[in-house]
Amino acid sequence: MSNSSRKFKDAAYEQVARIGKAVSAPKRLELLDLLCQGPRTVEALAQQAALSVANASQHLQILRAARLVEAEKKGLYVEYRVADEQVCGLFTSLRSLAEARLTEMAQITRTYLTERAAMEPVEGDDLMRRVRAGEVTVLDVRPVEEYRAGHIPGAVSIPLAELKKRIAELPKRRAIVAYCRGPYCVMAIDAVEVLRKRGFRAQRMEQGVLDWRARGWRLEKGTEAAP
């Protein structure tokens, strides 16, 4: 191999490695997961990722230097968003690879769900088919700003924090499928517990909007749909 070819390969792989380095921290992956749900301020990201504002800002600067996120000043706050949908695809691919290759992933999930008494059969593709076909009431329990940024078509928005006081808005004769941010989000588990205690037929869907989009399925944007 010529010296010029070697320099080319080294330079190319170095740039690819920039992406790997940027996503090498667990908290930065969590921040990307949150931003794939919708744009957020540094303060909101810090709160939801259990970070100080200073630490969240440092992580975001690293992601921004790798061109994975973008920032925009809005009044007194700085709002971040993913630079491109490919960024969310990268996160989804990393998550899927970890689940496929690392047995620790399954163990961590199993332990948590057993503690929460939430180990129940997940219907996977069949459940998503029923959701797409409109055979169930789909409940989005994420914060409303995430719902507005993108949600499963036909989903009703009732954030988890409002569920108990708004539960009468949901039809009791129809099965309910609750979802949130994906397999590592526990809001849907909490929502199902609340609904079942009130006599609803409720089930959690592991998949979120990232999984929906990854299949090439359409998402809706806009204000809350009425139950």
What CA–CA distance (Å, rounded) separates 188 from 158? 11
Structure tokens at 29: 């992956």
Give the number of other CB atoms < 10 A from CB of residue 6.
Answer: 10
Question: Exactly one of 36, 88, 180, 185 is catalytic; which is it?
Answer: 180
How many of the other CB atoms lie within 10 Å of CB of 98? 12
The C-alpha atoms of residue 47 and residue 196 are separated, in whole angstroms, by 29
Residues 6+ apart with CB under 8 A from 123: 130, 203
Helix (H, G, I), strand (E, B) or coil at 107: helix
Strand partners, 203: 177
The structure tokens listed for 149 are 């940024």
Contact assessment for residue 49 and residue 31, using Cβ atoms and an 8 Å cutoff:
yes
For helices 103-115 and 85-101, angle between their N-to-C axes, nearest 10 degrees: 90
Active-site residue, 180 included: yes
| Matching residue, tokens 């440092």 | 58
Catalytic annotation, residues = 180
